[in-house]
């Protein structure tokens, strides 16, 4: 029987989503598959909608997996929560058709990056924001968000050594909002390059502080190299927020 699950996790102490040989520390994938193995008595591989890097969080990550016997979805959710650390929570589980894939059935992924714009930051949100008190021009940020929408060559926004031959990606929507000192950049796209959102934020910071202009940023979208873009923003401010499907009961209210 095939199932889909919606997860939320604090990535602070994980070495990213994907389990890999030769790394020290646990990954979210390994942790979840170990919990599923306790339930099913065998290794249960999971397919994920979008991988997250070390220190990146998720609010609405989606996975799919097969169990060797039929389970009530709510029992799977309860059993997983009982066998997962507090940093990982299963929000919802449901049965899905055999042709459903958390990765390949996804229409888009949405990431949100949070920035705190004061020197003093409440300790309970400190692990989940980029503490950056520099003065930002909000109008310039909105210009950048408008510029990145559509199909562009995002090669300049991919980690060196991990850029594929085809670095063209489509951003469906990008927006900026703020409430007091808390700023939020939201980016929705079909797929993303490694570190793409974090490098975008590092480059946005340069434009927002007046160190670079919008023409510089727009030139980066023409396939320039990684060295031409801004620095990589810290991982702690980034969340995989939501994954979109043609129809997903996982998103019912």
Which residues are tagged catalytic?
53
**8 Å CB contact between 44 and 32:** no
What number of residues does the chain have? 253
**8 Å CB contact between 11 and 27:** no
How do beta strands 238-244 and 182-189 pair?
unpaired
**8 Å CB contact between 242 and 172:** no
CA distance 237 to 52: 12
* 3-state secondary structure at position 114: strand
Task: Report CA dihedral (206, 212, 213, 217) to the nearest 10 degrees.
Answer: -70
**8 Å CB contact between 159 and 195:** yes
How do beta strands 130-131 and 150-153 pair?
unpaired
Nearest residue to 190 via CA among 207, 168, 208: 168
How distant, in Å, are the alpha carbons of 65, 70, 138, 203, 208 from that of 114? 31, 40, 14, 15, 15
Q: How far apart are the first and last CA of the chain?
A: 25
């Amino acid at each position: 029987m095939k199932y889909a699950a919606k997860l939320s996790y604090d990535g602070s102490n994980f070495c990213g989503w994907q389990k890999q040989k030769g790394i020290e520390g646990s990954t979210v994938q390994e942790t979840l598959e170990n919990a599923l193995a306790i339930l099913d008595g065998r290794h249960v591989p999971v397919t994920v909608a979008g991988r997250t890097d070390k220190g990146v969080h998720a609010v609405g990550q989606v996975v799919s997996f097969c169990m060797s016997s039929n389970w009530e979805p709510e029992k799977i959710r309860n059993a997983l929560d009982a066998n997962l650390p507090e940093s990982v929570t299963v929000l919802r589980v449901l049965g899905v058709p055999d042709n459903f894939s958390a990765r390949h059935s996804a229409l888009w992924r949405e990431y949100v990056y949070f920035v705190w714009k004061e020197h003093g930051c409440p300790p309970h949100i400190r692990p989940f924001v980029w503490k950056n008190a520099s003065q930002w021009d909000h109008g310039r940020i909105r210009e950048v968000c408008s510029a990145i929408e559509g199909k562009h060559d995002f090669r300049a926004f991919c980690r060196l050594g991990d850029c594929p031959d085809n670095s063209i990606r489509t951003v469906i929507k990008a927006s900026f909002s703020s409430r007091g000192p808390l700023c939020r950049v939201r980016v929705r796209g079909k797929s993303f390059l490694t570190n793409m959102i974090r490098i975008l934020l590092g480059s946005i910071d340069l434009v927002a502080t007046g160190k670079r202009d919008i023409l510089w940023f727009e030139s980066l979208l023409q396939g320039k190299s990684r060295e031409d873009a801004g620095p990589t923003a810290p991982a702690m401010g980034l969340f995989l927020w939501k994954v979109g499907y043609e129809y997903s009961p996982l998103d019912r209210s």
